[in-house]
């Protein structure tokens, strides 16, 4: 009975070793792949244009606030207390609007970044999956985040293959 258990255990260990040896792994720095795609440059240009629009509007609002502050400073001594309060309140409201606009613009830029980059990421992922299936890989590790720490020579570098698939 003990011999049978040992034989079964030995067969199990040997079959696992054969299965593990047959498994193929690959790796790719996905950030390098995405940055090499022409769609990436187009997406980045769209985001840059939107950022410029927001920056111009923020600058315009800041100039408007600065004019109000200068006007207030120049005429403060001739204003009554009630007018001073109204002008100071107006300036504060403008500053709050500017801050709110800047925060909303930043949130919109982040949302637009996700929206604009998603098709690029999807195309890259599809190409990676196709190459991985073609090469019979069971796992592909994205090494752009610094993982894994070690990569064997047996792990297939997919970057040149995926770039070729995308015509890059």
Range of the domain at 109: 22-166
Residue 8 lies in a domain: no
Enter the pTM of the model: 0.70
Residue 13 lies in a domain: no
Residue 10 lies in a domain: no
Residue 87 lies in a domain: yes
Cα 37 to Cα 32: distance, rounded to the nearest angstrom: 9
- The CATH number assigned to the domain holding 140 equals 3.30.910.20
Residue 122 lies in a domain: yes
Tally of domains in the chain: 1
Q: Name the percent of the chain lying above pLDDT 90.
A: 52
Residue 1 lies in a domain: no
* pLDDT single digits (tens) 138-164: 888 888 877 665 566 677 788 888 888
**Shortest CA distance to 27 belongs to which of 146, 120, 126?**
146
Residue 26, beta-bridge partner list: 140, 156
Question: Are 122 and 82 within 8 A, CB to CB?
Answer: no
Q: How confident is the model at residue 76 (pLDDT cuts 50, 70, 90)?
A: confident
* pLDDT single digits (tens) 43-55: 999 999 999 999 9
Question: Are 132 and 23 within 8 A, CB to CB?
Answer: no
Cα 110 to Cα 119: distance, rounded to the nearest angstrom: 15
Q: Give pLDDT, residue 146.
A: 73
Question: Are 136 and 24 within 8 A, CB to CB?
Answer: yes
Residue 134 lies in a domain: yes
Q: Give pLDDT, residue 65.
A: 95
């Amino acid at each position: 009975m003990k011999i049978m258990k040992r034989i079964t255990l030995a067969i199990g260990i040997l079959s696992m070793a054969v299965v593990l040896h047959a498994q193929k792994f690959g790796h790719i720095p996905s950030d390098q792949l995405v940055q090499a795609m022409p769609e990436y440059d187009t997406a980045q240009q769209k985001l840059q244009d939107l950022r410029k629009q927001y920056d111009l509007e923020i600058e315009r609002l800041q100039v408007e606030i600065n004019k109000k502050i200068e006007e207030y400073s120049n005429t403060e001594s001739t204003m009554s207390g009630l007018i001073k309060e109204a002008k100071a309140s107006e300036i504060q409201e403008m500053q709050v609007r500017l801050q709110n606009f800047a925060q909303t613009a930043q949130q919109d830029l982040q949302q637009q970044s996700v929206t604009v980059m998603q098709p690029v990421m999807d195309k890259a992922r599809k190409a990676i999956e196709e190459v991985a299936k073609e090469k019979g890989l069971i796992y592909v590790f994205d090494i752009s985040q610094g993982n894994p720490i070690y990569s064997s020579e047996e792990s297939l570098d997919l970057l040149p293959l995926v770039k070729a698939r995308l015509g890059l």
